Amino acid sequence: MPIADNIRFLRDRICKAALIANRDPGEISVVAVSKNVSTQMISEAIEAGITKFGESRVQEMLSKYKVLEKKIDWHFIGPLQTNKVKYIINNVELIHSLDRISLADEINKRAKLNNKPANVLVQVNVSKEASKSGIYEEDLLPFIETLADYPYIRVKGLMGIGPNTTDEEAIRTCFRRLRVYFENLRSKAISHIDMEYLSMGMSNDYMIAIEEGANMVRVGRAIFQNI
Ligand SMILES: *Cc1c(COP(=O)(O)O)cnc(C)c1O
């Protein structure tokens, strides 16, 4: 199926999931995950109305950025090495994967040099799978409180990846837990912390994520590979 059809299908399913949860579909944004995808295919997705793209490797993002430039909002969604922050800090709208203080130190430093605060999501390892990055939920509040002291970091929300299983209830439980943390933090007044985005849900589980409160989904294969 052409990419435009995949996107129509995706939007349709997002609407369905939103309606099941009694939510406004318009509040859910799509980050098209374009890792391993050509700039030609990204251009097709732009034509079909997508404006946000997610990349998980710095080098790949930079080479695409050169071709496509500012036409789109770039989101960095993968594990981020501290020594690579300087290459992307100028070019990204949102970093989804802040998960440790050493990375916060570097982002704050680079954003300060840039004279522009960096927007980040804190990645939480809700499933506690060893293969996943992210901080554990019991460390979340102290971590966020520490981040409030960084003048060039703006925490915009949380990011989580569902567990690697076909068990829908297990996936739902993880997303539900993350949503509770999100709402709790949102209700606290912590400086520089503004819980705007709950980034959860990928091709396999975005409908569950939306039913459980996601307002940003990161979808790759369902857009670019017809899965
Ligand atoms: C690859 C990736 C996605 C997209 O996964 P799909 O299954 O292709 O939708 C979303 N989030 C992160 C962090 C990823 O690395």
Confidence (pLDDT) at 127: 87
* Residue whose structure tokens are 């369902």: 222
Ligand 1 centroid–CA 201 distance in Å is: 8
Q: Compute the distance between CA of residue 33 and CA of residue 215 in angstroms, rounded to an integer.
A: 16
Q: From first to last of its 227 residues, what are the pLDDT tens digits of the chain?
A: 799 999 999 999 999 999 999 999 999 999 999 999 999 999 999 999 999 999 999 999 999 998 887 678 999 999 999 999 999 999 999 999 999 999 999 999 999 999 999 999 999 999 888 888 999 999 999 999 999 999 999 999 999 999 999 999 999 999 999 999 999 999 998 888 999 999 999 999 999 999 999 999 999 999 999 77
Q: What length is written for the chain?
A: 227
Ligand 1 centroid–CA 219 distance in Å is: 6
Map out the domains of the chain with their CATH numbers. Answer: 3-224 (3.20.20.10)
The amino acid at residue 73 is: D
From 30, 36, 75, 77, the mutation candidate for ligand 1 (largest count of ligand atoms within 8 A of CB) is 77
Q: Compute the distance between CA of residue 157 and CA of residue 227 in angstroms, rounded to an integer.
A: 28
Atom of ligand 1 nearest to the CA of 77: 13
In the chain the first and final C-alpha atoms are separated, in Å, by 10
Q: Ligand 1: residues within 6 Å at CB?
A: 33, 35, 56, 77-78, 161, 202-204, 218-222
Ligand 1 centroid–CA 151 distance in Å is: 30
- Token pair in block for residue 221: 């294969």
Confidence (pLDDT) at 48: 96
* Residue whose structure tokens are 């990161």: 218
Confidence (pLDDT) at 53: 97
From 56, 197, 205, the mutation candidate for ligand 1 (largest count of ligand atoms within 8 A of CB) is 56
Confidence (pLDDT) at 128: 86
Asked if residue 200 lies in contact with residue 8, where contact means CB atoms within 8 angstroms, the answer is no
Query: What is the gyration radius of the CA atoms in the chain, in angstroms?
Result: 17
Q: Compute the distance between CA of residue 193 and CA of residue 188 in angstroms, rounded to an integer.
A: 9
- Measured at the alpha carbon of residue 57, what is the angle toward residues 53 and 63, in degrees to the nearest 5? 75
